[in-house]
């Protein structure tokens, strides 16, 4: 092994520290703002370390249930959870058989379907939003969870199908043979053979799907208009657009909205990385 | 029990997926094409049948505001995606070295990726704040700047500042994809090249570059497709201002259709966006197909 020179070591460590600071500082500052008083955040020169740390903003958002900010935040949290989890669950139910079919029962025309699916979820939403909006309006579904769940399935189903297909491809096809001879049908094989082996891939797909649904803003902004269906991204955009700029409160809302996806991503770090990989570079 | 022929089973398993794709993507897309040839207006349903031919398209291509929004988008995409690729590859090269804290740093890369896009936009908007923002405070306190700047209020700066927020969130994706590719290069190859007298620069171009070019180009196209759609950070940070300097195509379509309620012309703008995206998506599919054949 070639020993790195002293200059090399210095370069490596100083770049590593710079990178760490760049990654951490903005979020750290968001957190500091969330526990600072408005007075500390609006003095010149800026008070970097707050004089007294207070979690009052968090209480305003999740503790004091009667306040209007808590009402909009908690409802948004509930809506985001319902929409993201239902859309993910439904999408997986649809994507699993589709991915199995594309992986195990290939045919020329069906193969091109995979590429249709990939193209589908990359489609800019502006191309679809107008007819979807009028369809939802005429069905009376505007400002409901159902509208968002349906539209998100349009994004998540093709995405998870693609992700699962590339993972199913790695499972030996021989495993399906014995039960097929014993008379099992394909759904039984998927349930008893494929899914138990593909558990990690399934986890990665579910994680990516939840993160994508949690993050979606465009459709949520247009299809919802009050606390009954507004999701967190929309509620946060509302907070940020408010006339009275309460920096601390906005920051606390941001931190709270970040905790679920970031902690999920960290607990399932391996799944996330493998999900990102197979969901971006494999065909 | 009935046994279907293989092809029938295959199609049956695909039916739910195809239903969703047709219902939520195929049908709306065709309807958008239809709208784009009409004078449809959001407030009056009767207008959806008023056929106007190519008038919307001709108007769109002559509309300087729309053309400006395409230019802004192209600008935003080239700045942020090229920076994401360069920084992402450099970070991957760094994380491929052995040093203390490497695992921690790698884990930190996930933070921007998992941070919700709207929170990211809001966070940077606060950091850029003209009166009490952290960026102004930092730059004046270390003496790089004499007085506070309105980062998002300056038409020459705003798009760059929005791009920085996007770069911060997305370079980790490029870094992770590149890092995975770097880890497939055998250490022996690098050492052999070193013993042959290749310096770091030569080693990069002869050994490292060929190994990462395929996944990096996939990441490049993927990021371009995503960046081209940019809407949420624009909405939260600037709403297209100041003086339309950050108005991107998605934002333009949104305004035309939902603020001015002109669905017909909004649809024609949207389809021009789709055409540009289609070229990018086709490139992407071609790349991953090629990669799938060689891997």
* Model confidence pLDDT, tens digit, residues B246-290: 999 999 999 988 888 888 888 999 999 999 999 988 888 888 888
User: By percentage, how much of chain A surpasses pLDDT 70?
Assistant: 94
Closest CA in chain A for residue B286: A283
Shortest distance, CA B13 to any CA of chain A (angstroms): 5
User: B263 contacts in A (CB within 8 Å)?
Assistant: 130, 134
Across A151-160, A268-277, B32-41, least confident range: A268-277
Query: Which residues of chain B are within 8 Å of residue A29 when distances are taken between CB atoms?
Result: 123, 127, 134
Structure tokens at B74: 């192209």
Q: Residue B225 CB: number of other CB atoms within 10 A?
A: 19
pLDDT tier for residue B222 given thresholds of 50, 70 and 90: confident
Q: Rounded CA gap, B164 and A223, in Å? A: 29
Q: What are the boundaries of each domain within chain B?
A: 44-294
Cβ neighbours for A259, distance < 8 A, ≥ 6 positions apart: none
According to the per-residue pLDDT averaged within each range, which of A39-53, A252-266, B143-157, B177-191 is highest? A252-266
Whether pLDDT at B1 is above 60: no
Residue B219: per-residue pLDDT? 87
| Separation of alpha carbons B106 and B110, rounded Å | 7
How near does any CA of chain A get to the CA of B156, in Å?
Answer: 23
**Contacts with B118 from chain A: Cβ below 8 Å:** 215, 217, 232-233, 236-237, 257
The Cα B250–Cα B106 span in angstroms is 33
Q: Which among A117, A258, A280 is the nearest to B219, CB-wise? A: A280
More confidently predicted of B24 and A37: B24
Q: Is the pLDDT of residue B294 over 60?
A: no
- Check whether A149 has a pLDDT greater than 90: yes
Pairs of residues, one from chain A and one from chain B, whose beta carbons lie less than 8 Å apart: 288
> pLDDT at position B116, please?
94
Residue A244 clears pLDDT 70, i.e. is over it: no
pLDDT at residue A184 in the model: 82
Interchain CB distance below 8 Å, B32 and A127: yes
Instruction: Read off the tokens for A19.
Output: 């990178």
Q: What is the pLDDT of residue A243?
A: 59
Q: How is residue B212 written in tokens?
A: 């990462």
**Pick among B119, B145, B183, B221 to test the A interface (most A CBs inside 10 A):** B119
Among candidates B18, B105, B277 on the partner chain, residue whose Cβ is nearest the Cβ of A20: B105
Question: Inter-chain contact A131–B35, Cβ cutoff 8 Å?
Answer: yes
pLDDT tier for residue B133 given thresholds of 50, 70 and 90: confident
Looking at residue A170, what DSSP letter applies? T
pTM, rounded to two decimals = 0.90
> Helix %, strand %, coil % for chain B, to 5?
75, 0, 25
Pick from B94, B131, B229: CB nearest A19: B94
Which has the closest alpha carbon to B295: A169, A162, A59? A169
Min Cα distance B249 → chain A (Å) is 9
The pLDDT of residue B136 is above 90: no
Reply yes or no on whether the pLDDT at B295 is more than 50.
no
Shortest Cα distance, chain B CAs vs residue A206, angstroms: 14
- Comparison of pLDDT for A107 and B32, the residue scoring more: B32
Query: B238: which residues sit within 8 A by CB, 6+ positions away?
Result: B152, B158, B162, B246
- Which residues in chain A have their CB less than 8 angstroms from residue B105's CB? 16, 19-20, 23
**CA-based end-to-end distance of chain B:** 41
- Quick one: average pLDDT of B196-200? 83
How far off is chain B from A67, nearest CA to CA, in Å? 22
CATH superfamily of A55-278: MetI-like (1.10.3720.10)
User: Is A139's pLDDT higher than 50?
Assistant: yes
Q: Specify the CATH architecture of the domain B44-294.
A: Orthogonal Bundle (1.10)
The whole-number average pLDDT for the span B133-143 is: 87
CB nearest to B225's CB, from A97, A122, A128: A122
Nearest partner of B32 among B263, B225, B234, judged by Cα: B263
Pick from B119, B231, B237: nearest CA to A27: B119
A60 pLDDT tier (thresholds 50, 70, 90)? confident
Among B127, B232, B269, whose Cβ lies nearest the Cβ of A217?
B232
Which 8-state DSSP code applies to residue B51?
A: B
Instruction: State the pLDDT confidence band at A8, using cuts at 50, 70 and 90.
Output: confident
pLDDT of residue B43 exceeding 50: yes
From B18, B126, B235, residue closest to A237, measured CB to CB: B235
Sign of torsion over alpha carbons A272, B112, A118, A89: positive
Cross-chain Cβ contact B177/A24 below 8 Å: no
Dihedral angle sign, alpha carbons of residues B144, B150, B151, B156: negative
SS3 B41: strand
Q: What is the pLDDT of residues A204-215, one digit of tens each?
A: 899 989 999 999
Minimum mean pLDDT range among A215-224, B192-201, B228-237: B192-201
Q: Are A184 and A175 in contact (CB under 8 A)?
A: no
Burial code (b: 16+ CB inside 10 Å, e: under 16) for A9-34 equals eeebeebbeebeeebeebbebbebbb
Answer yes or no: are the C-beta atoms of A1 and B190 closer than 8 Å: no
Spatial CA neighbour of B257 closest among B72, B35, B12, B75: B35
- Residues B24 and A128 sit within 8 Å (Cβ to Cβ): yes
Positions of CATH 1.10.3720.10 in chain A? 55-278
8 Å CB contact of A262 and B94 = no
Q: What would the pLDDT profile of A248-268 be if each residue is shown by its tens digit?
A: 889 999 999 999 999 998 888
Q: Which of B9, B27, B228 sits opposite A105 (nearest CB)?
A: B9
Which pLDDT score, from 0 to 100, does residue A147 have? 95
Inter-chain touch A280–B292, beta carbons under 8 Å? no
């Amino acid at each position: 092994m070639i020993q790195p020179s002293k200059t090399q070591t210095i370069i490596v460590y100083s770049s590593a520290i710079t990178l760490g600071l760049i990654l951490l500082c903005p979020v750290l500052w968001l957190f500091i703002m969330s526990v600072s008083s408005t007075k500390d955040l609006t003095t010149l020169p800026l008070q970097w370390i707050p004089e007294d740390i207070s979690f009052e903003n968090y209480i305003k958002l999740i503790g004091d249930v009667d306040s209007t900010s808590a009402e909009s935040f908690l409802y948004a949290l509930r809506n985001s959870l319902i929409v993201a989890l239902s859309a993910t669950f439904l999408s997986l139910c649809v994507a699993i058989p589709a991915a199995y079919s594309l992986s195990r029962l290939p045919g020329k025309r069906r193969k091109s379907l995979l590429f249709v699916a990939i193209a589908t979820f990359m489609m800019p939403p502006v191309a679809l939003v107008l007819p979807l909006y009028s369809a939802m309006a005429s069905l009376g579904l505007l400002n409901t969870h159902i509208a968002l769940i349906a539209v998100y399935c349009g994004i998540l189903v093709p995405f998870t199908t693609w992700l699962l297909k590339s993972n199913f491809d790695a499972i030996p096809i021989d495993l399906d043979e014995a039960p097929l001879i014993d008379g099992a049908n394909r759904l039984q094989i998927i349930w008893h053979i494929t899914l138990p082996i593909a558990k990690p891939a399934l986890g990665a797909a579910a994680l990516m799907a939840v993160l994508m649904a949690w993050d979606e803003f465009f459709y949520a902004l247009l299809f919802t208009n009050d606390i009954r269906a507004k999701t967190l991204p929309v509620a946060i955009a509302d907070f940020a657009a408010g006339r009275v700029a309460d920096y601390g409160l906005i920051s606390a809302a941001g931190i709270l909205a970040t905790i679920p996806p970031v902690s999920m991503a960290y607990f399932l770090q391996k799944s996330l990385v493998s999900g990102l990989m197979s969901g971006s570079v494999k065909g | 029990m009935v046994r279907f022929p293989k092809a029938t089973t295959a199609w049956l398993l695909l039916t739910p997926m195809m239903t969703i794709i047709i219902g939520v993507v195929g049908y709306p897309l065709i309807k958008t094409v239809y709208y784009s040839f009409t004078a449809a207006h959001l407030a009056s349903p009767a207008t959806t049948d008023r056929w106007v031919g190519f008038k919307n398209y001709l108007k769109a291509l002559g509309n300087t505001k729309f053309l400006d929004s395409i230019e802004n988008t192209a600008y935003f995409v080239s700045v942020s995606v090229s920076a994401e690729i360069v920084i992402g590859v450099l970070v991957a090269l760094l994380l491929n070295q052995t040093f203390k804290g490497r695992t921690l740093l790698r884990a930190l890369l996930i933070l921007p990726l998992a941070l919700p896009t709207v929170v990211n936009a809001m966070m940077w908007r606060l950091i850029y704040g003209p009166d009490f923002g952290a960026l102004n405070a930092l730059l004046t306190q270390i003496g790089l700047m004499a007085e506070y700047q309105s980062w998002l209020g300056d038409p020459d700066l705003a798009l760059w500042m929005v791009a920085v927020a996007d770069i911060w969130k997305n370079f980790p994706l490029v870094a992770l994809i590149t890092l995975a590719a770097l880890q497939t290069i055998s250490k022996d190859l690098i050492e052999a090249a070193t013993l042959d007298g290749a310096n770091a620069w030569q080693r990069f171009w002869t050994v490292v570059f060929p190994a990462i070019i395929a996944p990096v180009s996939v990441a490049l196209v993927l990021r371009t497709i995503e960046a081209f759609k940019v809407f949420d950070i624009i909405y939260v940070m600037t709403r297209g201002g100041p003086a339309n300097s950050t108005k991107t195509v998605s934002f333009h379509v949104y305004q035309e259709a939902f603020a001015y309620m002109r669905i017909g012309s909004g649809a024609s703008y949207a389809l021009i966006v789709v055409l540009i995206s289609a070229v990018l998506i086709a490139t992407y599919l071609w790349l991953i197909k090629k990669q799938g054949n060689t891997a």
